[in-house]
Structure 1
Amino acid sequence: MNESKNKVIIVEGKSDKDKLAAILDEPVEIICTNGTLGLDKLEELAIAIEDRDVYILVDADDAGHKLRKQLQRELPNAEHLYINKMYREVAKTPLMYLAKILVGAHFNIHKNCLG
Structure 2
Amino acid sequence: MKPKIKEIIVVEGRDDITAVKAAVDAEVVAVHGFSVGKNIEKIKAAYERKGIVVLTDPDFAGLKIRDYIQKRFPKAKHAYINRIEGTKNGDIGVENANPEAIIKALNKARCELTEIKEIFKPEILLEYRLTGYPDSKTLREKLGKKLGLGYSNGKQLLSKLNRYGITMEEFQEAMKDINN
Gaps of 5+ in 2: 87-91, 110-180
In the alignment, is residue 63 of structure 1 matched against residue 61 of structure 2?
yes
Q: Which runs of 5+ in 1 are unaligned?
A: 106-115
Identity among equivalent positions (%) equals: 29
How far the C-alpha of 1:38 sits from its partner, in A, is 5.3
Say whether residues 1:9 and 2:9 are aligned partners: yes
Contact 1:46 1:74 in 2 (8 A): no
- Provide the aligned C-alpha RMSD in A: 2.1
**Structure 1 or 2: more strand by fraction:** 1
The alignment of Structure 1 onto Structure 2 pairs a total of residues equal to 99
Please name the residue that 1:34 is paired with.
Answer: 32
Which residue of the partner structure matches residue 113 of structure 1? none
Asked if the contact 1:12–1:35 (Cα under 8 Å) also holds between the matched residues in 2, the reply is yes
TM-score, with structure 2 as normaliser:
0.49
**Structure 2: distance between partners of 1:74 and 1:48:** 12
Corresponding residue SS for 1:82: coil
Q: Are the counterparts in 2 of residues 9 and 29 from structure 1 also a CA contact under 8 Å?
A: yes
Q: Name the structure with the higher helix share.
A: 2
- Determine the C-alpha separation between the residues in 1 that align with 2:76 and 2:54: 7
Partner Cα distance (2:5, 2:59) in 1:
29
Indicate the structure whose relative CO is greater, using CA pairs within 8 Å and at least 6 residues apart.
Answer: 1
Contact 2:54 2:79 in 1 (8 A): yes
C-alpha distance in 2, partners of 1:14/1:62? 19
Question: Any idea what the Cα deviations from partners look like across 1:60-101, whole Å, max 9, x if unmatched?
Answer: 111101100100011111100001122231011122211222
Q: State the one-letter code of the partner of 1:71.
A: I
Structure with greater Cα Rg: 2
Residues in 2 aligned to 1:6 and 1:16: alpha-carbon distance in whole angstroms: 18
